[in-house]
Amino acid sequence: MNLGVPKETAPGERRVALVPETAGKLVKAGHRVLVESGAGVEAGFPDSAYTAAGAALGDPWDADLVALVQEPAPGQVGRLREGTAVVGMLKASTSPDLLRRLAERKVIAFSLELLPRITRAQSMDVLSSQATVAGYKAVLLAAEASPKLFPMMVTAAGTLAPARVLVLGAGVAGLQAIATARRLGAVVSAFDVRPAVKEQVESLGAKFLMMESQVTAEGAGGYAKELSADQHQRELDFLAASVRDADVVITTAAIPGRRAPILLTRAAVDGMRPGAVIVDLAAETGGNCELTDPGKSREHGGVTIFGPLNLPASVPLHASQMYSRNVATFVQHIVKDGKLQVDLADEITKATCVVFDGKARL
């Protein structure tokens, strides 16, 4: 099968869907990989690395399957041929116009953020691989902005107390943030509405915060689900008290297909110490902090609030490597004997196939 790798067009996007190493493995497996010139340059992969791996430079839109990181731009959609497959993080749940345009082109589209959380799909899980990068980078962003050093230091000028970091949400991004903050020497605590993650939090050396009457909201596939109004208010009150002593708060809570839940109100931020830092990793879906300005940083009462978008793109080499492996595994799942096989009875294919037979499936 001919696989195409275009250059990403979204502002600030530096990742590439397939890196040379993975492209080479696909070539050895019998596929032909067409890479748009310059597609991997910003991630640290020059054209020469692709050709050395056996890929060819060419027009990726002539391929049978086009691999993307983000959703294609309108002009790119217009270049897709009927019957071509598109694989990427298409944000299908919130992009009805894109699905309509893809259906009109009679292409077959797979949106990888919809992969089910099952054992067979773990090696394809793009959300987890990219969340790992985001959790790591969020801590570095906070450490750079904080007026405090993270580790305890015993110096000739006296002892410096370690920074106190609170992580809200202990999914993949949250756990990576915990691990990174601990490596930097901070005292770390975490909160999550899923009691099942308590052991994971504690295994990383952090304290798991428990409400006196713990709220529980674990949904299908291990994701959090929305709380009732009463539960959410109790959660807000608890977190407002918890952040008062924190030097850094990193928020990562998300509900699939919904706006991110508000965890920090304006009143909660008002109660934080001057110099404290909030990094809101849920900014792309509205933010966990009431004062988050997506894509920007702001100050409120001496507290700095970051609403970063697409943090994985700021570490493009490793983020691309992980994403590329996810994509290659998915391609091997849907392509057999050189041909695309759309088996909608298969749990993975059914969940991710959002356009088929000229129709949007969401």
pLDDT in tens, 115-144: 999 999 999 999 999 999 999 999 999 999
126 in any annotated domain: no
Sorted by sequence, the CB contacts under 8 Å of residue 318 that are 6+ apart come out as: 133
Whether residues 309 and 319 share a domain: the answer is no
The answer to the question of residue 73 being in a domain is: yes
98: phi then psi, degrees, rounded to nearest 5: -65, -45
Based on the fold, state whether residues 237 and 258 are members of the same structural domain.
yes
Pair (93, 214) in one structural domain: no
Give the domain-ending residue among 313, 330, 346: 313
In the numeric block, the tokens 């009927």 are attached to 82
Predicted local distance difference test score (pLDDT) of residue 255: 84
Q: Are residues 211 and 294 in the same domain?
A: yes
- Under a CB-based contact definition with an 8 Å cutoff, are residues 102 and 86 in contact? yes
The CATH number given to whatever domain includes residue 45 is: 3.40.50.720
Q: How far apart are CA 85 and CA 106, in angstroms?
A: 9
Domain identity same for 59 and 155: no
Using CA atoms in the order 139, 135, 287, 351, what is the torsion angle rounded to 10 degrees?
180
Whether residue 63 is found in the same domain as residue 94: yes
* Residue 234 included in any domain: yes
Do residue 93 and residue 156 come from a single domain? no
pLDDT of residue 87: 98
Domain count, the chain: 2
Catalogue the active-site residues. 117, 122, 125, 128, 223
Are 138 and 285 in a shared domain? yes
The residues of the chain scoring below 50 in pLDDT are none
- Distance, in Å, from the CA atom of 248 to the CA atom of 337, rounded to the nearest integer, reads 51
In this structure, is residue 343 part of a structural domain? yes
| Domain co-membership, 91 together with 51 | yes
Same domain, 9 and 136: no
Do both 144 and 288 map to the same domain?
yes
Residue 120 belongs to a domain = no
Task: For residue 332, tell me if it sits in a domain.
Answer: yes
pLDDT digits 0-9 by tens, 1-25: 999 999 999 999 999 999 999 999 9
92-98 long-range Cβ contacts below 8 angstroms, 24+ apart? 92/354, 92/362, 93/256, 93/257, 93/362, 95/71, 96/360, 96/362, 98/71, 98/72
Domain of 217 in residue numbering reads as: 131-313
Q: Taken in order 25, 31, 37, 42, is the CA torsion positive or negative?
A: negative
Same domain, 61 and 108: yes
For residue 224, the model assigns a pLDDT of: 56
Q: Whose CA is closest to 133, among 322, 6, 272?
A: 322
Q: Is residue 181 part of a domain?
A: yes
